[in-house]
Amino acid sequence: MKKNIVLVLLFFAVACFAQIKTFYSNGSENAGKVALTFDDGPGKATQKILEILKEKNVKASFFMLGVRVRRNPAGAKAVAAAGHEIANHTYGHINFYAYKDKDK
pLDDT greater at residue 26 or residue 29: 29
The DSSP secondary structure of 15-81, one letter per residue, reads HHHHT-S----SS-TTS-----EEEEESSTTHHHHHHHHHHHT---EEEE-HHHHHH-HHHHHHHHH
pLDDT (0 to 100) of residue 2: 53
Q: Is-above-0.75 flag for pTM?
A: no
pLDDT in tens, 51-80: 999 999 999 999 999 999 999 999 999 999
pLDDT greater at residue 47 or residue 21: 47
